Chain A
């Protein structure tokens, strides 16, 4: 028994490593990512007494599943999974590439932040309602990002919309109920537009699978109608100017963590579908439509920025900032190059994280001072240095200044706009940045006043302050370690080849 010791340990190491890699490689993470939050939501519903721990646990588990999926994609490239083994023409396929991975990852990351924040935010009675709804929403998001079936996308979109509406209605008072009602009607209208478009597409090409449609699609009046209907529905849900009218009220009147998840994730879901369709099915519709989207996006950037400047309440300011930032995403359509898509996706990613942090910070301010009037912020802000730091750091990304994810996104979009000779979109980017600086500093400047505290502020749980800060730090890191997320987007080259 005299094995060379070196070889022996080497062998052991491989034995240890093997099952680990096996698990990572074999588990269908793509399915687990959908089942897990749905099961978690069900469990929260059945066992309300432990719903907080269940919710936190599920969020943590989702993050590790995303990591598993990322590992799989890294190893094997884009993945397709046929549910129940039925396969695309008849059954429903799941599909994951770099684009879906980024979306799932940002949902998981922001989702964890929202779970941690909410675990301190909600009182018992509200928490019982919050956790199941939130986890269902989480599951709907993941299913949406991983579906390659346009009808399945409709179902996930509806599940997402209904849970989101219910979450908005969690806040007390008629204002929240009104917003929720309005939000619900808008949502249903958007979904039905989308569904009618799906019906036309299916009738014309006999498939619901995006990849199959991409091969079969050819110009016809029915396709034009479908593109119009689908885009109208999705743009309404994404709140692109001038269909943004519902967003500020809905996002501002919801409870803080719900505002965060609406602005950070929910509006992005419908944008994702639009992007996916655009990349795969819509290229045939020509460039005039792309120019229109770019134009509306520019109007959104400017209008949202100006409205944000005019608001007297912090949460409305942040909500209008979302309108403005969503506009940036549409500037990629007329540019249509790989770096433009990457820039838009990076914008989406950074905005999601930054806006979640901002809404959480606004929630902390509201919790501490009982109001969010911008003119009277001075007396509150000085007590909440961490919260205000979070707000400011997130603001850096919203303004698009370095070092932050927003800066990287802006750089890429600007590069695309100059490279393609369409400099006017770049001008919109810069103008939007100036407007953003104006409204962010309108809030931040209150930190530096000498106003004395007028009344006793309520205590804000440290966990809520730290969650906002950590998310804000993440967005700063996105500006320093950008090469990794950018490489992640490349998997399966969703934006076509080249750079």
Chain B
């Protein structure tokens, strides 16, 4: 039981770390990785919370959700990488230009 929550907390921790990296880092590759870390965190939470009671077989629904989530995450990462490459080709940089806040 406590292990379950440990894993879940670990997942939340990954999510927060990823969020922090996404905001703090300027390099696009790091941002994309940060998003991936975030989603891994969420998946970990889902999987961890699926075994609510020890001894009983874990709930299969969260597993299905994680598998779907991984598929989505892969496509999103692919799109992000292709955009990054195009941006690099267009501007020669791997960062988003600084923008005065409105």
Contacts and interface: CB of A to CB of B under 8 A. Distances in A.
A185, A189, A249 pick with most chain B CB within 10 angstroms: A185
B9 interface: no
A203 to B, nearest CB: 4
Interface string A152-170: 0011001100100110010
A196 interface: yes
A208 B90 CA distance: 43
B49 interface: yes
B75 to A, nearest CB: 6
B76 A184 contact: yes
A248 interface: yes
B38 A165 contact: no
B35 to A, nearest CB: 5
A38 to B, nearest CB: 15
Interface string B32-71: 0001001101100110010010000001011001001100
A188 B28 contact: no
A181 B96 contact: yes
B90 A174 contact: yes
B86 A199 contact: no
Contact of A162 (B39, B68, B75, B102): B75
A189 B22 contact: yes
Contacts of A155: 68, 72
Interface in A183-201: 184-185, 188-189, 192, 195-196, 199
B90 A248 contact: no
A165, A188, A248 pick with most chain B CB within 10 angstroms: A188
A151 interface: yes
Contacts of B49: 199, 202-203
A4 interface: no
Interface string A104-119: 0000000000000000
B19 interface: yes
B79 A182 contact: no
B83 A195 contact: no
Contacts of B15: 192, 196
B5 to A, nearest CB: 10
Contacts of B45: 196, 199
Contacts of B19: 189
B102 A178 contact: no
A174 B102 CA distance: 20
Interface string A206-225: 10100000000000000000
A468 B38 CA distance: 41
Nearest to B18: A192
A90 interface: yes
A185 B22 contact: yes
B38 A178 contact: no
Nearest to A307: B102
Interface of A: 90, 151, 154-155, 158-159, 162, 165-166, 169, 173-174, 177-178, 180-182, 184-185, 188-189, 192, 195-196, 199, 202-203, 206, 208, 245, 248-249, 307
